Chain A
Amino acid sequence: MWNGPLNKIDDYRYEIPKSYKGIDGKLNMRVPGMIYALPEMLPLIRKDNAPEQTANVATLPGIVGRSLAMPDIHWGYGFPIGGVAATEYEEGVISPGGVGFDINCGVRLVRTNIKFEQINKSIIKELTDELFKNIPSGVGSEAKIKLNKPQLDEVLQMGARWAVEHGYGWEEDLEYLEENGCMEEADASAVSEKAKERGMSQVGSLGAGNHFLEIQKVEEIFDENAAKIYGIEKNQIVVMIHTGSRGCGHQICTDYLRVLEQAVKKYKIELPDRQLACAPLKSKEGEQYFKGMACAANFAWANRQMIVHWVRQSFEKIFKEDAENMGMKIVYDVCHNIAKIEEHEIDGKRMKVCVHRKGATRSFGPDSSEIPGKYRSIGQPVLIPGDMGSESYLLKGTKKAEEAFGSTCHGAGRVMSREEAKRRWRGSEIARMLEGKGIYAHPASMVVMAEESPDAYKDVSMVVNATHGAGLSLKVARMVPLGVVKG
Chain B
Amino acid sequence: MSTEREHDDGDSGRTGTFGDYGGQYVPEALMPALQELEDAYERYVLENEDGFMDEFRERMRDFGGRPTPLQRADRLSERYDREVYLKREDLLHGGAHKLNNALGQVLLAKYMGKERIIAETGAGQHGTATAMAAAHLDMPCEIYMGRTDVNRQRPNVYRMRMNGAEVTPVEAGSATLKEAINETMRDWATTVERTHYVIGSVVGPHPFPKMVRDFQAVIGDEIREQIRETAGRLPDSVVACAGGGSNTMGTFHAFVPDEDVDLVAVEAGGSSLEIDEAEGLAPNSATLSTGTDGVLHGAMTKLLQAGDGQIVESHSVSAGLDYAGVGPELSHLVETGRVTPANVDDEAALDGFHRLSRLEGIIPALESSHALGYLERAAGTAADGASGDEPRAEANDELGDLVVVNVSGRGDKDLETVLEETEKRDLEAAPDVEVFDQ
Tell me if chain B binds chain A.
no
